[in-house]
Amino acid sequence: MNRWLALTLCALTSVSTVGCSLTADNKTASSAVNVSTDLANEVAEPAEPVTTTSSQMVFTDQPTFELEQLSPQQEADLWQRIRRQLTMQAPENQRLISQRNWYMNNPQYMERVAKRAEPFMYMIVEEIEKRGMPLELALLPIVESAFDPFAYSHGRAAGIWQFIPGTARHYGLEINWWYDGRRDVYAATHAALDYLDALQKRFDGDWLHALAAYNSGEGRVAGAIRRNKQQGLPTDFWALDLPRETRAYVPKLLALADILRNHDEYAQHWLPIANMPFLAVVEANAQIDLAKAAEQAGIDLDTLHHYNSAYNRWATDPNGPHRLLLPLPQAETLQQWLNSADASELVQWTRHKVKQGESLLVIAKRYHTTAQAIQQANNINGHIIRAGDHLLVPVATRDLDDYSLSADQRLASTQAQTRGAYKIEHTVVSGDTLWDISREYEVNLRSLASWNGMAPTDPLRPGKTLVVWLPQQQKASGVVRSVQYKVRAGDSLARIASRFNVSIQDIEKWNQISRSKYLQPGQQLKLFVDVTRLSSQS
């Protein structure tokens, strides 16, 4: 069967959450494209494999193409496919009305959300239908993140489904230097639906309780139910004493479903999304440079990274996953290259001669990789390396600035938007909190957190280096460090300012003191010192 004919049939029939799953197998140049009805695991007995040439596809569990079987699926607009399967009912109360009014009064917001949702919504709807879960859940990423794959909340939640780290790891989402599974739409969708399914079973099939627990925790919802029972009060969601955010959270979802269900009555028509696969899954068999993948697929690197927002660096995690979501034509192009490419071609390599005193960590930092990646590439079991050894090190194909959606570049962009003119580095000591540090340097707490890719409530690890931007008039030309200076007998502000090449006014501001008051021996002063200028004077 011609591949593009197969892709067309794949688009017309409900066969896969992402449309088509393309899997690289470099052992045979003629490995086929696999189309599956399941994102993760086959649920039906798989069909016998078919040996094909490179111009064919293997169809497993392919349903019979009969129009009468395609009720919701035959809709041209995916929103209408969802609409025909909505089941949750809600009372017409003020909490619902206020949320519905907000959405109806902000059509531009819904248009932006629909544009963000377009690549991923078909995948999500397919998986929800396969599991027999309420189609209202397809609207949940609107409430959680407005379908922004890079969304990050004050509670350390990330991705379109807004997983916090603990829950993410519990449901199999890896979080490390290379990769954050919370932002992997493919993996996080499975994890979120697993979690929601577990919650509805925990609450005896009550989906409103399950949704409330998804937002605020099952212990909190269970406690609210228990208290109402003890007081002889109703235990439905609307009667529970829950946090303000949760009391609005469930009505937001129900309001969206109500608007979609009654879109003609409300005259609300969201930006249409075609009811066909948009993305396909391509699986490489080893670490792959995202720039090289983009080049071989014929797609812009930023676009590729947007569809694959889980990757924090310039490549996939050496330990996987090596999965990429791409629009169908580009997925086909990349798959053809992967079918014949060797694993060594997926990243660029450099040969590094170990110098005296170098460690794996030092070398890894230089090449923007990890010690573990170097160990794997060179079959090193421990951390011992010797001067004169030669190591193969995976390196980025392009300048790191080109990977604009990587964690480093997004952080740099955030700093550029909110930073002051004077950069210093603060080394965390035991007991430090972001709040304490923000007060110490007189900067905004949220700005401090965003400069360092953190949430305001994140814990700090002693030894961690934080970037702090101070609103000075002049920009530092060198490297600035925070210095604690102990006043000595005979010191004056003028003498200290001259010694450290700062102004008296700066010392006064940094320490909330006035030159009209005498300094006391032993008094501690906080100074921000350009160490490069000091060294040039010594």
Q: What CATH code is carried by the domain that includes residue 213?
A: 1.10.530.10
Q: Which two tokens stand for residue 16?
A: 């896969």
Judge if 130 and 253 occupy the same domain: yes
Q: Is residue 75 part of a domain?
A: no
Q: How many domains does the chain have?
A: 4
Ordered DSSP codes for 198-242: HHHHHTTT-HHHHHHHHHH-HHHHHHHHHHHHHTT---SGGGS--
Domain that residue 181 falls in: 92-266
Query: Active site includes 126?
Result: no
For 467-515, the pLDDT digits (tens) are 887 765 434 444 556 677 888 888 888 888 877 778 888 888 778 788 8
Mean local confidence (pLDDT), 387-408: 68
Claim to verify: residue 494 and residue 422 sit in the same structural domain: yes
The answer to whether residue 77 sits within a structural domain is no
126, 127, 136, 144: the active-site residue? 144
Contact, 175 vs 169, CB < 8 A?
yes
Domain end (from 266, 299, 325): 266
Is the pLDDT confidence value at 536 over 50?
no
Look at residue 36 and tell me whether its pLDDT is greater than 70. Answer: no
The answer to whether residues 139 and 285 belong to one domain is no
Cβ count within 10 A of residue 141: 27
Q: Are residues 425 and 340 in the same domain?
A: no
Say whether both 96 and 243 belong to one domain. Answer: yes
488 in the same domain as 414: yes
Residue 20: inside a domain: yes
Q: Last residue of a domain, which of 248, 266, 284?
A: 266
Nearest Cα to Cα of residue 331 among 35, 126, 28: 35
In a domain, 305, yes or no: yes
Q: Cα separation of 339 and 33, whole Å? A: 10
CA atoms within 13 A on the CB side of 19: 27
**163/223 same-domain check:** yes
Residue 402 lies in a domain: no
Q: Which of 266, 285, 312 is the last residue of a domain?
A: 266
The mean pLDDT value for 33-41 works out to: 31
Q: Decide if 412 is inside a domain.
A: yes
**CA dist list (Å): 434 to 4, 385, 408, 468, 526:** 54, 37, 20, 11, 18
What's the CA gap between 342 and 320, in Å, rounded?
Answer: 17
330 belongs to a structural domain: yes
Res 519: pLDDT: 87
Instruction: Point out the least confidently predicted range of 280-289, 298-307, 420-429, 527-536.
Output: 527-536
pTM, rounded to two decimals = 0.63
The alpha carbon of 196 is separated from its chain's Cα centroid by a whole number of angstroms, namely 20
Q: Closest by alpha carbon to 434, among 460, 469, 462?
A: 460
* SS3 of residue 281 by DSSP: strand
What's the CATH number where 458 sits? 3.10.350.10
Whether the pLDDT of residue 333 is over 80: the answer is: yes
Residue 71 domain-assigned (yes or no): no
Q: Are 416 and 391 in the same domain?
A: no
165 shares its domain with 33: no
Is residue 306 domain-shared with residue 363, that is, in the same domain?
no
Q: What per-residue confidence (pLDDT) applies to 526? A: 82
Residues 423, 489, single domain; the answer is yes
User: Measured between alpha carbons, how far apart are the two ends of the chain, in Å?
Assistant: 77
Q: What is the pLDDT of residue 472?
A: 54
Q: Are residues 310 and 293 in the same domain?
A: yes
